[in-house]
A and B are shown apart, each in its own frame.
Chain A
Amino acid sequence: MTGITTISGNAAPLNQANVDTDQIVPKQFLTGVTRTGYGKHLFHDWRYLDEHESVPNPEFTLNQPQYQGASILLARENFGCGSSREHAPWALGDFGFKVIIATSLADIFYGNCINNQILPISLPSEQMDVLFAAVESKPDTVIEVDLPAQTVSVDGQSFSFDIAEHHKLNLIKGLDAIGQTLELDAKISEYEAKQPAWA
């Protein structure tokens, strides 16, 4: 995995709350056995008018010409709620999003993003209003995200965001989380040795 530090790009404004992972990738696309190829199914029900994904819905934000090529997705409260399906960040990443900025993000989805080199950021509602207003009035607005500094900047304004230190490090260095834990093998074995037989 390669690490992420700073990302500058255009953003697509999905001005909705409670966007659940069933919307991000519906169930009929969960039968795969690989991690790739989900981008074309991203937001299937909203993005396409037909089941074969050949008729785009012109009303949907991601289909609008001004938001093509966006690497940042803006949303409102509770983005990624519902199912634990990691297919959701797989689809978002495959489509081209590197950063999701929302008023809040659901817990499991947040962790799934971190594990897939997508940076999830939550900002207060008023700051989200600023980002939405900028991108909706001027779609070519560039948003700058600086992970080491933990800031999101737009039009001369800068907002800071929180992220756990180990999440930040994993994203910046693109670390192998399992490899890191395997180095603690002796401690895990020690724990296991102390467990009662019935546990």
Chain B
Amino acid sequence: MAKTLYEKVWQAHVIDQIGEDSLIYIDRHLIHEVTSPQAFAGLDEKNRKVRRPDRTIATMDHSISTRSLALDACGPANQLQLNTLAQNCQKHGIELYPVGHQKQGIVHVMGPELGLIQPGMTVVCGDSHTATHGAFGALAFGIGTSQVEHVLATQTLKQSKAKSMKVEVSGSLAVGITAKDIILAIIGKIGHAGATGHVIEYCGEAIRGLSMEQRMTICNMSIEAGAKAGMIAPDDTTFAYIKGRELAPSGNDWDSALAYWKTLYSDEDAVFDTVVTLHADDISPQVTWGTNPGQVVGVGQPIPAPDSFNDPVARSSAQKALKYMDLEAGQILSEVAINNVFIGSCTNGRIEDLRAAASIAKQGKVADNVTAIVVPGSVAVKAQAEAEGLDKIFIESGFEWRLPGCSMCLGMNDDILKPGDRCASTSNRNFEGRQGRGARTHLVSPAMAAAAALKGRLADVRDFQE
């Protein structure tokens, strides 16, 4: 019987069937300081061990400063959390990349760049953006702390199989359009909860043409449409990315792994529960206007009127969002002034993102009233950017060049906005208060964020290119 990519990976991991549910094996468990301390405490209370420390890897990313390598730079609570991670990893024999380590980075940037994530794997992390790793054809999803504890103790999870959704993006992208614009357009089309209960498979010509980093941007935001996970079938682009990385298979192992990876695609006549299609040619640079990522329009389009939504709940959500965002229906976002720019995060903190932003940054200076920060996704990304001179371009243009971490995506450190601040951000959530209480977030691509920094308002990146 024809199978989807998701079904193939799922079935390869079923250990046991328990009623309607399956016990599935977890190949890679990524952990960080925020969602793991209570899980380790739970193990300790019951005298349980970590079953597979060799399949568990830890990094510090959420609670750390982007200005200092000191663990106490963001106060004693953050310091305690970071030290707790270090103690737990030491006690249970788990490899940790702490602040200052050359492999440290945002958990979803660090894993792929080490070659830790490979096609067909199951990957979990106590973080909703774990779907990032689906870009490799892995089944990757975010879990809560009780599940982190379950995976630490058993290397398994009890799961119900999700529904499947195929999102096909046909055609090719116009100049200035990026993976971020594609995924925002998808979420805009299906809605903030449009994929709840589903695993998405992204496919089509426009997806095939993307680099691995761009594919990670797409899969990363699957959760913003409510999806359990997002996946892209592995292909030559995937294999070329993995080959030669530190933790990638080599020699004969590479050959046998590759032979298996090449079987990981949805069969031609596989049936999906839901199918959505978009045309890449119709996608313009996207900007969110509201307080969830589904509230998004093209930069040149007017903000929709709440009355244009038939559903009364969607209508009242739009009204509430416009009030919070201090915007009006019909307004064109490129007329809206901003005073902050954030370039970074697990969505857009990789080297290609920084190159795209730098290509705009070098065309001018950050506007006088704008504070703009660039936060690389990992130490490796930072080093690569510096080797290419991107740091100098940013600094010369008036951006601040910071240390790696999650930073202003969620502001668990001191990178937070003030009430009334308005930020063009390459992160993944424009929720009320996400970047600081009373602050307003507009999600955009890295090039769009850099363009906004230079103009002092939301701007169309296509005005910068020849």
Q: Is the CB of B63 within 8 A of A191?
A: no
Q: Are B153 and A182 in contact (CB under 8 A)?
A: yes
- B412 near A34 with CB under 8 A, answer no
Partner of B48, one of A27, A32, A178, A187: A178
Within 8 A of B (CB), among A156-199: 164-166, 177-179, 181-182, 184, 187-188, 191-192, 196-199
Within 8 Å of chain A (Cβ to Cβ): is B175?
Answer: no
Chain B residues with CB under 8 Å of chain A are 15-16, 18-21, 23, 25, 27, 34-35, 37-38, 41, 46, 48, 51, 62-63, 75, 77-78, 80-81, 84, 118, 120-121, 126-128, 141-147, 149-150, 153-156, 158, 160, 162, 192-193, 196-197, 223, 226, 228, 249, 253-254, 256-257, 260, 291-292, 313-314, 316-317, 320, 410-412, 429, 431-434, 437
- Structural contact, A76 and B313, CB atoms closer than 8 A: yes
Nearest 3 pairs of A and B residues by beta carbon: A115-B146, A198-B249, A112-B144
Give every chain A residue within 8 A of B146 (Cβ-Cβ).
Answer: 86, 112, 115-116, 177
Q: Is the CB of B257 within 8 A of A181?
A: no
Contact flag A78-B128 (CB < 8 Å), given A187-B15, A188-B156: no
Does A17 contact B314, Cβ atoms closer than 8 Å?
yes
| Contacting pair A81 B80 (CB below 8 A) | no
A to B contact number (C-beta, < 8 Å): 189
Closest residue of chain A to B313 (Cβ to Cβ) is A17
Asked whether, in the complex, the Cβ of B437 is within 8 Å of the Cβ of A106, the reply is no
A-B contact pairs, 19 of them (CB 8 A): A18-B192, A18-B193, A20-B292, A20-B431, A30-B62, A31-B75, A34-B41, A35-B145, A85-B144, A104-B196, A116-B146, A166-B21, A178-B153, A184-B156, A188-B15, A188-B25, A191-B25, A199-B121, A199-B257
A27-B412, A188-B154 given; A16·B145 CB < 8 A: no
* Cβ A81 vs Cβ B192 within 8 A: yes
- Nearest chain A CB to B366 CB, angstrom units: 26
A contact set with B: CB distance below 8 Å: 16-18, 20, 22-23, 26-28, 30-35, 45, 51, 76-78, 81-86, 89, 103-104, 106-108, 111-112, 115-116, 125, 164-166, 177-179, 181-182, 184, 187-188, 191-192, 196-199
